[in-house]
Amino acid sequence: MIKEKLEFSNFKISLTFVLISWFFTINFATAQTDFEFTNKVYSKDIFSVQTLVNGTIKSLPMLIKNSNDILLIQFDDLVEDENKNYYYRIIHCDRNWNPSNITEVEYIDGYNNDIIRNWEFSATTKVNYTHYFFQIPNKDTKLKISGNYLLLVYDKGNDSNPVFSRRFMVVENNVKPFVAIVRPMEVSNLRYNHQLNISVNMGQNKIANPQRDVFVSVVQNGNWDNAKIDLKPVFISNNVLTFDNFGGISFKALTEYRSFDIRRIQSRGRNVASINFKTTPNEVFLKVDEPKPYSTYSFNFDFNGNYYVDNWDYTDPKIRDFVSNLSYFEDSIQQTFITRNELLDGEYQVSEKDLRADYNSVFFSLKSDEVYNSEVYLYGALTNWLISPEFKMKYNAAEGMYEVNTLLKQGYYDYMYAAVDKKNVADFAKIEGSWAETENDYTTLVYLSEFGSRYDRIIGYATSISR
Condensed to tens digits (0 to 9), the pLDDT of residues 30-53 reads 345 578 899 999 999 999 999 999
Residue 233: predicted pLDDT:
92
How confident is the model over 134-191, as pLDDT tens digits? 999 999 999 999 999 999 999 876 767 899 999 999 999 999 999 999 888 888 888 8
* Backbone torsions φ then ψ of 142, nearest 5 degrees: -130, 150
Residue 80: predicted pLDDT:
74
Read off the pLDDT of each residue in 107-126 and give the average, rounded to a whole number. 90
Identify which has the larger pLDDT, 262 or 204: 262
Residue 74: predicted pLDDT:
95
Task: Place 298 in a pLDDT band, splitting at 50, 70 and 90.
Answer: confident
- Do 87 and 157 meet the contact criterion of CB atoms below 8 Å apart? yes
Residue 467: predicted pLDDT:
74
> Most confidently modeled of 129-133, 300-304, 361-365?
361-365
Residue 34: predicted pLDDT:
75
Pairwise CA distance, residues 407 & 47, whole Å: 8
Please say if the pLDDT value at position 60 is more than 60.
yes
* Backbone torsions φ then ψ of 328, nearest 5 degrees: -65, -40
Pairwise CA distance, residues 29 & 395, whole Å: 41
Parallel/antiparallel/unpaired status of strands 62-64 and 164-171: parallel
Residue 54: predicted pLDDT:
87
List C-alpha distances in Å: 453 to 23, 25, 37, 60, 224. 19, 16, 22, 26, 25
Task: Place 335 in a pLDDT band, splitting at 50, 70 and 90.
Answer: low
Residue 297: predicted pLDDT:
81
Please say if the pLDDT value at position 314 is more than 70.
no
Task: Place 99 in a pLDDT band, splitting at 50, 70 and 90.
Answer: very high
Residue 203: predicted pLDDT:
83
Residues in a beta bridge with 462: 444
Please say if the pLDDT value at position 430 is more than 90.
yes
Task: Place 321 in a pLDDT band, splitting at 50, 70 and 90.
Answer: low
Read off the pLDDT of each residue in 251-280 and give the average, rounded to a whole number. 92
Pairwise CA distance, residues 229 & 444, whole Å: 10
Please say if the pLDDT value at position 25 is more than 70.
no
Pairwise CA distance, residues 428 & 414, whole Å: 14
Pairwise CA distance, residues 120 & 76, whole Å: 10
Residue 358: predicted pLDDT:
95
Pairwise CA distance, residues 388 & 377, whole Å: 8
Tell me what the pLDDT averaged over the chain comes to: 85
| Helix, strand and coil percent figures for the chain, each rounded to 5 | 20, 40, 40
